[in-house]
Amino acid sequence: MILFQCDYNEGAHPRVMEKLMETNLEQTVGYGEDEHCAHAAELIRKACGNESLAVHFLVGGTQANMTVIAAALRPHQGVIAAQTGHINCHETGAVESTGHKVLALPHKDGKISAAQVERLCREHREDASFEHTVQPKMVYISNPTEYGTLYTAKELEELSAACRRNGLYLFLDGARLGYGLAAADNELDLPFIASCCDVFYIGGTKVGALFGEAVVMSNDELKRDFRYFIKQKGGMLAKGRLLGVQFEALMEDGLYLEISRRADRLADKLREAFVRCGFPMLVESRTNQIFPVMPDAVLKELSGRYGFSWQERVDDTHSAVRFCTSWATREENVDRLIADLEKMGPIR
Amino acid sequence: MILFQCDYNEGAHPRVMEKLMETNLEQTVGYGEDEHCAHAAELIRKACGNESLAVHFLVGGTQANMTVIAAALRPHQGVIAAQTGHINCHETGAVESTGHKVLALPHKDGKISAAQVERLCREHREDASFEHTVQPKMVYISNPTEYGTLYTAKELEELSAACRRNGLYLFLDGARLGYGLAAADNELDLPFIASCCDVFYIGGTKVGALFGEAVVMSNDELKRDFRYFIKQKGGMLAKGRLLGVQFEALMEDGLYLEISRRADRLADKLREAFVRCGFPMLVESRTNQIFPVMPDAVLKELSGRYGFSWQERVDDTHSAVRFCTSWATREENVDRLIADLEKMGPIR
Amino acid sequence: MILFQCDYNEGAHPRVMEKLMETNLEQTVGYGEDEHCAHAAELIRKACGNESLAVHFLVGGTQANMTVIAAALRPHQGVIAAQTGHINCHETGAVESTGHKVLALPHKDGKISAAQVERLCREHREDASFEHTVQPKMVYISNPTEYGTLYTAKELEELSAACRRNGLYLFLDGARLGYGLAAADNELDLPFIASCCDVFYIGGTKVGALFGEAVVMSNDELKRDFRYFIKQKGGMLAKGRLLGVQFEALMEDGLYLEISRRADRLADKLREAFVRCGFPMLVESRTNQIFPVMPDAVLKELSGRYGFSWQERVDDTHSAVRFCTSWATREENVDRLIADLEKMGPIR
Amino acid sequence: MILFQCDYNEGAHPRVMEKLMETNLEQTVGYGEDEHCAHAAELIRKACGNESLAVHFLVGGTQANMTVIAAALRPHQGVIAAQTGHINCHETGAVESTGHKVLALPHKDGKISAAQVERLCREHREDASFEHTVQPKMVYISNPTEYGTLYTAKELEELSAACRRNGLYLFLDGARLGYGLAAADNELDLPFIASCCDVFYIGGTKVGALFGEAVVMSNDELKRDFRYFIKQKGGMLAKGRLLGVQFEALMEDGLYLEISRRADRLADKLREAFVRCGFPMLVESRTNQIFPVMPDAVLKELSGRYGFSWQERVDDTHSAVRFCTSWATREENVDRLIADLEKMGPIR
């Protein structure tokens, strides 16, 4: 059984593991106040081209989302997100459990637009009973989105401007940011993201680390007292240096982008094979998640040999599913899957 | 600089690291539903002598405390704890952030008694305005406590009986459980703890793992839907197998107790040296935390060479401080500290 | 200026005020444990034909919704509601502020169906990552709905059956229940509602009282400890007898239905006039809320003499607005509005 | 049976009731945006000598406390209070239910001091693990306290200065403020309170109204968006004018102080009688709450004819109890109780 169902089926990239081994018996202070964390933060600030950024390391994505949002909002405020946004769908109501409504908007391939944000803010302002509704205060986007799609530079810039005009924070969930930055059609880089967003994170869990997300903040309001929140929400790792060490490994020598690029290349290869074999994509994207639409009979056959995840029903006999590549995907496994696809298709 | 200030200054025990390396490129499903977690849970159920226990792995102690308590209580209910309890003092109000009051009781060397619990419950029942006060529903204890002390078998049994009589859950925070179980004066074992408590955890972070706490539940009410809570509170590790793998290493071949015993022995050695040199203990205990009372001038001198943590002021010229040993403590460092102590004392 | 914008523009029905005056200097115990509350609860139990119901009096609707929902749900559970449901739209995220997600469903004239509830529950059960999503545990409906529409007996019975099959509580918000029960096309009565719902409330604020909602519970799980929640959520009125006294006045001698019937009759009269004058209704209903669709120019003219509330834009030149009647509406004011409408229409 | 157990055993002062009757059929907009609320707020601003104060009307004390505190604090912040403070003891954990820890301090007759606040803030700042503890951000005091005592002008001024030095808000719970302002030994007036506190409230429920607390804010940070919080926490009364009308009655022509003065005079009369008859006071105070220490046998006898509330056990045979007077207390009832006391004492 070969697993393609997610990008966290393996441990960490060998260079990450090596560095964990090397530093294992070093003595450091706890809670992320050690030199590895300081150094990793420095590397990230450099990569973002901004020395004034605050960088904090958290263990996972839901934790990062919940902690950032709970720290940013007052109790009567909510966070705007796509209906398909991870915080709206797949975090067991973590945001609501901290007291805040997710103001869900219809999406286009997992994305929302500046125009949608403007409209929602205007409607709130103009509502005669505005105090009876949740005040929008933050926009949450993911990049790549849950559909593997990317925001263009223009889209992100416009969202950023809409947020500033309306007094909202812009928060970018970068759980798979590496696969976005390395994609063939990507238009963004870290300095640009850092300048557009009030806060975002660079995902480690899905991009070569055992675990870890580097939260980067440019907005001073959000920086204030943030470590209290990490502790209160259960995210302060006693041996915090484990996060620093891993991000040192990922950010030194371009490892983060290098392994992302490879995963995207394998995804492209697989995507082309799906299409060639007659299985169209649910959405167009060039990152490490692939969403082919396939006949249920074919899926049943494949499921004996490959792990993938179910996405959505398309019609009575077809479903969209998800295959992921990652830094750990072996090319031979991709080739084996392609060979199996070619045996089946093109069919309808 | 030699650090004794906590038991999480290093990484993980070499056998833990080895096992992480060995399994690093295995493919498994995520979120703790893999075979390593299943196997580690099985080892723990065996060690507790009870096949019906639920076992869940969380990343850290505050997270475990907050998740267990939030899952157990209805909104009008509170958790009884010693004033010195970790949930009352050192978790940035994590329990309150989930909506619950900590009902703090005076402590004796970090411990609370069945009689105190009975009294509080009786007072609540007999209060004419009982509905205007928080309903007690859980007792939280730590063992070893924050002062390194241990509950006797009789004390734990009585607490358990008091809880059952009053319809309370008994929750034991075992962040340092290994150092308790291995202590010279310990009276408890895992089967006894599992039979007395509704829920407890076996701490990994401070006892040989990179991170991880194994939450063990005997009460069926608490077991129900617990994984939803892990996810909602941000504690569900994507690569959940990392927790399983580490607990496999710790629970196989008695490693957990073996390394705890060594740490306790080094603590005993150090404790005797402190006393011999004229520095009395703040509290009597035999686990890995040592609380000598020392003149401030001596502390100042020591602080140039050794890391330790400040505990409390004793009088105008003396303070109590904390030195910890751990699985990672090198005997040569203990010996060097003892030599330095002997050069200073006995003095007053 | 004559106000039709809501059903709480005046104080209380004269018989309610009288009774408050009569009892004003009586001495009673506080917090709703007095004889007036006991008597009012008894009257409600009788009207519902069920002696085992628990009855609690709260001050307002948002408070009642929030308190009931927070008491019923565990933290990982959510409440299903129509997108137009009051808890989803007009309570500033009160439900979310207690930690719970509102699982919003598309509506039909403000109503949701048993089939929708079944589908959502089935999808949750069958979702491979169900623990990553909020668990549905309650269905919230309002009757009359926010559009003035009513559930038929069959619809309510089916919703009730769907809830029982799926282990959900059914909660009916009856802020305007009187206007529903008294409507020409109503099929429900209190015993039937009490048998279908786990909890519902009989609205006083909008139906003749100064304030007050009588929460009625048939499900024993919900009854337990409910007064703690009333206190914790700020809803326990010190002079609780004020609620009892008002509901005594409303429930004795059929006052509640009598004044509701009159308001519905005036609404019918007004509705017919709107339609006769060429202003169609946004939705069909027979309760005290009327939603005519009118040209913006006409609305502008009317707004100088009458208060009404804006509902939604229909097209570039038309909007739907809301006119309410209530127990306090004077027939002469209705007649004056009708005369003004007749002067304008039929027009386009 | 004559009730002295609290100051909310009756309805409202006749002049309040009259005004409610007079205005009953007026049409006004809802939610406190009517002219009565505006006028009552204006009267309060005048009485406080500060036109820039924000005034909001809430229904009850727990609701006011919870709403103000939840609006003021970020999630990692807590509120300092006396251990005997109402928010710590008698609100079913309402503050904690909004996510915040009450940082309870030892009290002196229900009061806390500037020195205690300074010490707690200093300890927090100097704590090496300060981020692991709740950040103090507000001081809550009640005046009169739960023991009927009053802060002196100097004490309040010092608390205010300590709060400003440490960046804390000062919040005064004035549920019984009238009885404080009218007391023989009172040193405070409304302008002074308004200048010392960031927020406080003028209690109506216990001082002549059916219900209602007027929250007064001087700090601009607290004013912002406060109506959202009133709505979210369930405190926005649909017929908000009821609060305005009642406070108009209380604040016009000095009614509020006049009825408070009378209640305090009756309390003084009763207090002297208790002492004269050999029943000492638990604490010294001159407001409307009296705490005599009495033999249990005497209490048993009294309890057949008088309602009073139990306060605390003093020794094996004596308890302290509470008798309250209020605006509604009849002098003949006070005289009857005094006569009964004189028949019993001086004894013991």
- pLDDT for the residue numbered A346: 67
Q: Does the pLDDT of residue A345 top 80, yes or no?
A: no
- Summarised one tens digit per residue, pLDDT across range D151-181 is 999 999 999 999 999 999 999 999 999 999 9
CA distance C166 to chain D (A): 29
C113-167: per-residue pLDDT in tens?
A: 999 999 999 999 999 899 999 999 999 999 999 999 999 999 999 999 999 999 9
* CA separation for the pair A25, B14 (Å, rounded): 9
How far apart (Å, rounded) are the C-alpha atoms in residues B10 and C11? 70
Instruction: Say if the Cβ atoms of A231 and D74 lie within 8 Å.
Output: no
Q: Which of residues 127-146 of C touch B (CB under 8 A)?
A: 131-132, 135
D207, D177 in Cβ contact below 8 A? yes
DSSP run (H or E) holding C291 = none
Percent of chain B's residues with pLDDT above 90: 97
- Residue C317 CA to residue C299 CA, distance in Å, equals 10
Q: Do D26 and C20 touch (CB under 8 A)?
A: no
Question: Can you tell me the distance from the alpha carbon of D11 to that of B116, in angstroms, rounded to the nearest whole number?
Answer: 41
Q: Residues 6 or more apart from D46 whose CB is under 8 A from it?
A: none
- Kindly report the backbone phi and psi dihedral angles of residue C108, in degrees, each rounded to the nearest multiple of 5, phi listed first: -125, 105
- Rounded to 5 degrees, φ, ψ at C157 are -65, -40
Residue C330 tokens, joined: 């004077």
Do residues A233 and A66 touch, judged by C-beta distance below 8 A?
yes
pLDDT in tens, C238-270: 999 999 999 999 999 999 999 999 999 999 999
- DSSP codes, A181-193: HTSTT----HHHH
Tell me the C-alpha distance between C1 and C5, whole Å.
11
Q: Which of D132, D228, D236 sits opposite A231 (nearest CB)?
A: D132
Are the C-beta atoms of residues B90 and A234 closer than 8 Å to each other? Answer: no
Per the prediction, chain C carries an average pLDDT of 97
CB contact under 8 A, D232 and C30: no
pLDDT score, position B163 = 98
Q: Report the residue of C3, C9, C57 to disrupt the D interface, i.e. the one with the largest count of D CBs within 10 Å.
A: C9
Distance CA B282, CA B272 (A): 13
Q: Answer whether A203 touches B (CB < 8 Å).
A: no
- Does residue A110 have a pLDDT over 50? yes
* D211 contact C CB<8A: yes
Q: Is the dihedral of CA D283, D284, D287, D290 positive or negative?
A: positive
- Give D-chain residues touching B134 at CB under 8 angstroms: 92-93, 96
- φ and ψ at residue C29, rounded to 5 degrees: -70, 165
Chains near C with 3+ CB pairs less than 8 A apart are A, B, D
Residue with tokens 């025990």: B13
pLDDT score at C348: 47
The three-state secondary structure class of B18 is helix
Candidates C61, C210, C233; nearest CB to D239: C210
Residues in CB range of B43: below 8 A, 6 or more apart: B247, B248, B251, B252
ipTM for this prediction: 0.96
All residues of chain B having their beta carbon less than 8 Å from the beta carbon of residue D75 are 97
Quick check: A61 pLDDT over 60?
yes
| Listed residue (B288, B298, B343, B346) closest to B320, CA to CA | B298
Cβ-Cβ contacts under 8 Å for C65 (sequence gap 6 or more): C86, C87, C91, C94, C95, C140, C173
- How far apart CA D170 and CA D148 sit, in angstroms, is 20
Are B132 and D101 a contacting pair at CB < 8 A? no
Count Cβ atoms below 10 Å from residue A332 Cβ, excluding itself. 9
Q: Which residues in chain C are closer than 8 Å to B98, comparing Cβ atoms?
A: 75
User: Could you read off the pLDDT of B263-311 as tens digits, one per residue?
Assistant: 999 999 999 999 999 999 999 999 999 999 999 999 999 999 999 999 9
Alpha-carbon distance B207 to B191, whole Å? Answer: 19
Q: What is the mean pLDDT of residues A277-295?
A: 96
Residues on chain D touching A98 (C-beta within 8 angstroms): 75, 99
Tokens of D297: 């046998």
- With H, G, I as helix, E, B as strand and everything else as coil, classify residue D162: helix
Rounded to an integer, what distance in angstroms lies between the CA atom of residue C156 and that of residue C197? 9
Mean pLDDT of A92-109: 98
Residues A113 and A111: their CA atoms lie apart, in Å, by 7
Give the gap in angstroms from C-alpha B201 to the nearest C-alpha of chain A. 16
Which pLDDT belongs to residue B345?
Answer: 66
Q: Report the C-alpha gap between C86 and C144 in whole angstroms.
A: 11
Measured between its terminal Cα atoms, the distance across chain D in Å is 26
Residue C25 token pair: 């200097």
Distances in Å between the Cα of D43 and the Cα atoms of C326, D57, D230, D259 are: 32, 13, 21, 18
> Residues C332-338: contacts with CB within 8 Å, 24+ apart?
C333/C2, C333/C4, C334/C266, C334/C269, C334/C270, C336/C2, C337/C2, C337/C4, C337/C270, C337/C273, C337/C306, C338/C269, C338/C270, C338/C273
Based on its alpha-carbon atoms, the radius of gyration of chain D, rounded to whole angstroms, reads 21
Average pLDDT over residues A67-87: 98
**Which chain C residues have a beta carbon less than 8 Å from that of B226?**
none
pLDDT at A344: 82
Q: Which tokens is A249 given?
A: 């490994």
Q: For helices B14-22 and A14-22, what crossing angle results, to 10°?
A: 170
C25 closest CB neighbour out of D11, D21, D92: D11
Q: To probe the interface with B, which of C74, C134, C225 has the most B CB atoms within 10 Å?
A: C74
Question: Taking Cα atoms as reference points, which of B141, B98, B135 lies closest to residue B229?
Answer: B98
D76 to A225: CB separation less than 8 angstroms, yes or no: yes
Q: Which of C98, C131, C225 to mutate to test the interface with B (most CBs of B within 10 A)?
A: C131
Residue of B nearest to C72 (CA): B74
Residue D225 at interface with chain A, using a CB cutoff of 8 Å? yes
- Kindly list the residues from chain B whose CB atom is less than 8 angstroms away from the CB atom of residue C74: 71, 74, 225
pLDDT tens-digit profile of B240-258? 999 999 999 999 999 999 9
- In this complex, which chains have at least 3 CB pairs below 8 Å with chain D? A, B, C
Chain B partners of D92 at a C-beta cutoff of 8 Å? 76, 131-134
Bridging pattern class, strands A135-142 and A102-105: unpaired
Give the mean pLDDT of B4-8.
95
The answer to whether the beta carbons of residues D237 and D247 sit under 8 Å apart is no
Which two structure tokens, joined as six digits, stand for C39? 């008597």
Between chains, do B236 and A30 touch, taking CB under 8 Å as contact? Answer: no
Nearest to A228 by CA among B90, D113, B284, B152: B90
Q: Give me the residues paired with residue A138 across strands.
A: A79, A169
**Cβ neighbours of residue A197 under 8 Å, at least 6 residues apart?**
A160, A170, A171, A172, A218
Q: How far apart are CA C247 and CA C20, in angstroms?
A: 11
pLDDT for A296-312, tens place per residue? 999 999 999 999 999 99
CB atoms within 10 A of CB A15: 16
Q: What is the pLDDT of residue C346?
A: 67
pLDDT digits (tens, 9 = 90+) for D277-330: 999 999 999 999 999 999 999 999 999 999 999 999 999 999 999 999 999 999
Asked if the Cβ–Cβ distance from C92 to A129 is below 8 Å, we say no
What are the DSSP calls for B247-290, one per residue?
Answer: HHHHHGGGHHHHHHHHHHHHHHHHHHHHHHTT--BSS---SSEE
Interface test with A, best of B2, B22, B25, B225 (most A CBs within 10 A): B25
Asked if C75 lies within 8 A of B74 by C-beta distance, the reply is no
- Looking at CA atoms only, how far is residue D46 from chain B in angstroms? 35
Q: Do C101 and A100 touch (CB under 8 A)?
A: no
The pLDDT of residue B74 = 98
Judge contact between A17 and B24, C-beta under 8 A: yes
Give contacts of D 78-97 with C, CB under 8 A.
91-94, 97
- Give the distance from residue A130's alpha carbon to the nearest chain C alpha carbon, in angstroms: 9
Closest residue in chain C to residue A92, using alpha carbons only: C133
Residues from chain D contacting residue A54 (CB–CB below 8 Å): none
Structure confidence at residue D13 (pLDDT): 98
Residue B63: Cβ within 10 Å count? 26
Dump pLDDT digits (tens) for A237-249. 999 999 999 999 9
- C108 Rama class: left (phi>0) / alpha (psi -120 to 50) / beta: beta
Distance between CA A93 and CA C76 in Å, rounded? 7
Could you tell me how many CB contacts below 8 A there are between chain C and chain D? Answer: 153
CB-CB under 8 Å, B75 with C135: no
Q: Is D205 close to C235, i.e. CB distance below 8 A?
A: no
C-chain residues near B225 (CB < 8 A): 74, 76, 135
Identify the closest residue of chain A to C100 by CA–CA distance: A96
Taking the Cβ of residue A225 and every Cβ of chain C, the question of whether any pair is shorter than 8 Å is answered with: no
Of A221, A193, A247, which is closest to residue A58 (Cα–Cα)?
A: A247
Interface residue A238 vs chain D (CB under 8 A): no
Record: contact A98-D75, CB cut-off 8 A: yes
pLDDT digits (tens, 9 = 90+) for A222-273: 999 999 999 999 999 999 999 999 999 999 999 999 999 999 999 999 999 9
**B310 touching chain D per CB within 8 A:** yes
Q: Using a CB–CB cutoff of 8 Å, tell me whether C74 touches chain B.
A: yes
- How far the first Cα of chain A sits from its last, in Å, is 26
| Euclidean distance between CA atoms A268 and A258, whole angstroms | 16
Q: D228 and A71: CB-CB below 8 Å?
A: no
Average pLDDT over residues C54-69: 98
What does the block give as tokens for B163? 């809880």
C-alpha B25/C-alpha C88 separation (Å) is 46
CB within 8 Å: C238 and D211? yes
- Distance from C-alpha of A287 to C-alpha of A265, rounded to nearest angstrom: 9
Q: How far apart are CA D34 and CA D56, in angstroms?
A: 12
Q: Chains meeting A at 3+ CB pairs closer than 8 A?
A: B, C, D
User: Which residues in chain B have Cβ-Cβ distances shorter than 8 Å to C227?
Assistant: 131
With 0-12 / 13-18 / 19 or more C-beta atoms within 10 angstroms meaning exposed / middle / buried, residue B217 is buried
D71, D76, D225: residue with CB nearest A135: D225
